[in-house]
């Protein structure tokens, strides 16, 4: 009966397969045309999975007689993709504005949506996400992570930031009279040494894997982005988070906000609008990675009326092209993360396509979405590469995404922790 069940799993078309406990004796032999191991493409390789781990990878693997072979002819096998900037508790702003999501959608509705978003993300081949803030849904991302880990609902591995931290008065929603306080804020307000220490420690206690900080926000006298926290405040946040083994990431869209965050020791800069060549050189020197979130800016421009492909690019997108090129020129480590939630979950490949369109070689885009993200996020000992001993998080796509990055959308197999969630062969 066991062998019949495994055979049925391999044959079921185009559907989510229920996760199962990984019995130690279960073997899969995956036989694609080529394997991208997180660094290089290898023709004629196979991958042997034993339980929830990769046991072997290479040509002509000798598999046990009990192994279930999965023919992936015409396909490329890759490590499970890693989404570097997601908001599972948000959905596209052209459906519902950010303000209305935060203020008018119940926590129950937002969690229900997040469960759906998690499954869509997984079935798109993204087996890990760095989720950078619930935007008003408190610590519900930590609860969703636990539900996924327990097998209650299907979804990717999650690294969560819970509330994120903002300077008082800087963040939204801002739709009320100055006489009224918003009933819900999109992040946690804290200022000064004692309050920041307490907030960081509170978030850690509630389940945060990452501390996210807004280095600047649109609170200038004319609504322009301006720095929020001082460099000393930033250093306090980083010192407390790092003492627990957790990184700090910074939303930043001004050169000065980025400079303060970099000097304080953050791990990554998110967005990076208005970065200068000097800022990118400083990032390279301080080993701070860059998550440019190209797809979010592209989506917001279209929501605002820009007709992509028929109208010239808005100045803001031209600036994104420039800053992305400057980051590559400076040799900055570039992560793959699209700010998903601004645009639909499951469409995560949009960021990868834009990275290639903005001048990154497709093979480097694949590296960014696998081994590079895993290294930057401190999880390379578990995922991000195909090599013996790592967890069996794998995705197979039609064709060769190193030749055409859009092939990454043609997902035919998804395996997470040795369990098949999608297998169309």
Within 13 A of 24's CA, how many CA atoms are on the CB side? 0
pLDDT at 174 exceeding the cut of 50: yes
Q: Which of 65-74, 151-160, 174-183 has the lowest mean pLDDT?
A: 174-183
**Distance between CA atoms of 218 and 54, rounded to whole angstroms?**
46
State residue 23's pLDDT score.
56
Residue 8 has pLDDT above 50, yes or no: no
Number of neighbouring beta carbons within 10 Å of residue 55: 19
Strand-strand pairing, 46-50 and 27-36: antiparallel
The two tokens of residue 204 are 């850690």
Match 């408190």 to its residue by tokens: 138
Give the integer Cα–Cα distance in Å for 126 and 53.
17
Where do the structural domains in the chain lie, given as residue ranges? 2-80+384-423, 81-347
Q: What is the DSSP letter of 410?
A: -
Report the pLDDT value the prediction gives residue 401, as an integer from 0 to 100.
98
CA 137 to chain CA centroid, nearest Å: 18
Q: What does the block give as tokens for 395?
A: 């995705």
Region 44-53: mean pLDDT is 97
Architecture of domain 81-347: Alpha-Beta Barrel (3.20)
What pLDDT is attached to residue 424?
85
Question: What does the pLDDT average to over 82-87?
Answer: 98
Tokens of 40: 């290089």
Peptide bond preceding 173: is omega within 30 degrees of 0, i.e. cis? Answer: yes
Model confidence band, residue 311 (pLDDT cutoffs 50, 70, 90): very high
pLDDT score recorded for residue 184: 84
CA dihedral 79, 80, 82, 86 (to 10 degrees): 170
The residue among 215, 213, 197 whose CA lies nearest residue 248 is 213
Distance CA 405, CA 407 (A): 5
pLDDT at 106 over 90: yes
Per-residue pLDDT at 10 = 41
Matching CATH number, 2-80+384-423, of 3.30.530.20, 2.30.40.10, 3.40.190.10, 2.60.40.10? 2.30.40.10
pTM for the model stands at 0.94
- 156 is written with which tokens? 């990717």
Q: What confidence tier does 22 reach under pLDDT thresholds 50, 70, 90?
A: low
Cis peptide before 106 (omega within 30 of 0): no
186 contacts 218 by C-beta, under 8 angstroms: no
Per-residue model confidence (pLDDT) at position 9: 42
For residue 315, give every residue at least 6 positions away whose Cβ sits within 8 Å of its Cβ, in sequence order, or none.
Answer: none
Convert the pLDDT of each residue in 221-267 to its tens digit: 898 999 999 999 999 999 999 999 999 999 999 999 999 999 999 99
3-class DSSP state for residue 398? strand
Which pair of tokens denotes residue 102? 């935060």
Q: What is the pLDDT of residues 368-405, one digit of tens each?
A: 999 999 999 999 999 999 999 999 999 999 999 999 99
Residues 142-152 have pLDDT tens digits of 999 999 999 99
Estimate to the nearest angstrom the gap between the alpha carbon of 233 and the chain centroid: 27
Mean pLDDT of the chain: 94
Tokens found for residue 205 = 């206690």
* Contacts for 110 with CB less than 8 Å, ≥ 6 apart: 89, 101, 134, 137, 140
Burial of 76 (0-12, 13-18, 19+ CB in 10 A): buried
SS3 44: coil
Q: Which has the higher per-residue pLDDT, 296 or 15?
A: 296
Q: Is the pLDDT of residue 154 over 70?
A: yes
Q: Is the pLDDT of residue 12 over 80?
A: no
Q: How far is CA 251 from CA 165, 266, 268, in A?
A: 10, 10, 9
Report the run of H or E that residue 204 belongs to, with start and end.
Answer: helix 192-205
Instruction: Give the whole-number percent of the chain exceeding pLDDT 70.
Output: 94
As a whole number of angstroms, the distance between CA 212 and CA 268 comes to 10
> How far does Cα 359 stand from its chain's mean position?
21
Residue 270 has pLDDT above 60, yes or no: yes
Which DSSP category does 152 fall into? S
Q: For residue range 291-308, what is the model confidence (pLDDT) as tens digits?
A: 999 999 999 999 999 999
pLDDT of residue 24: 62
């Amino acid at each position: 009966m066991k062998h019949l069940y495994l055979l049925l799993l391999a044959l079921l078309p185009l559907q989510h397969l229920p996760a199962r406990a990984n019995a130690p004796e279960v073997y899969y032999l995956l036989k694609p045309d080529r394997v991208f191991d997180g660094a290089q493409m290898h023709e004629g390789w196979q991958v042997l999975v034993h339980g929830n781990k990769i046991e072997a990878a290479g040509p002509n693997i000798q598999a046990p007689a009990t192994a279930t072979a999965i023919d992936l002819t015409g396909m490329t096998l890759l490590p499970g993709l890693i989404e570097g900037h997601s908001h599972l508790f948000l959905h596209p702003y052209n459906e519902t504005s950010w303000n209305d999501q935060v203020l008018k959608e119940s926590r129950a509705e937002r969690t229900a949506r997040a469960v759906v978003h998690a499954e869509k993300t997984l079935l798109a081949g993204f087996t890990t996400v760095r989720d950078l803030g619930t935007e008003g849904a408190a610590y519900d991302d930590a609860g969703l992570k636990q539900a996924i880990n327990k097998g209650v609902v299907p979804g990717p591995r999650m690294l969560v930031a819970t509330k994120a931290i903002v300077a008082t008065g800087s963040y939204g929603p801002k739709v009320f009279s100055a006489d009224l306080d918003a009933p819900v804020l999109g992040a946690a307000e804290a200022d000064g040494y004692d309050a920041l220490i307490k907030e960081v420690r509170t978030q850690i206690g509630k389940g945060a894997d990452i501390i996210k900080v807004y280095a600047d926000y649109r609170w200038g006298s004319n609504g322009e982005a301006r720095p929020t926290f001082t460099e000393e405040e930033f250093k306090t946040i980083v010192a407390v988070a790092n003492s627990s083994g957790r990184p700090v990431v910074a939303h930043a869209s001004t050169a000065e906000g980025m400079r303060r965050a970099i000097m304080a020791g953050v791990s990554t800069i998110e967005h990076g609008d208005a970065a200068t060549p000097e800022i990118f050189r400083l990032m390279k020197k301080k080993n701070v990675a860059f998550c440019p979130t190209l797809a979010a800016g592209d989506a917001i421009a279209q929501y605002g009326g820009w007709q992509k492909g028929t109208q010239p690019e808005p100045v803001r997108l031209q600036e994104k092209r420039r800053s992305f090129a400057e980051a590559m020129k400076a040799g900055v480590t570039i992560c793959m993360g699209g700010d998903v939630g601004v645009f639909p979950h499951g469409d995560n490949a949009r960021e990868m396509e834009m990275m290639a369109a903005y001048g990154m070689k497709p093979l480097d885009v694949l590296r960014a979405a696998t081994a590079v993200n895993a290294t930057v996020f401190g999880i390379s000992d578990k995922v991000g590469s195909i090599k013996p001993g790592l967890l069996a998080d794998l995705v197979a796509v039609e064709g060769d995404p190193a030749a055409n990055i859009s092939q990454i959308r043609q997902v035919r197999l998804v395996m997470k922790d040795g369990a098949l969630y999608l297998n169309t062969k």
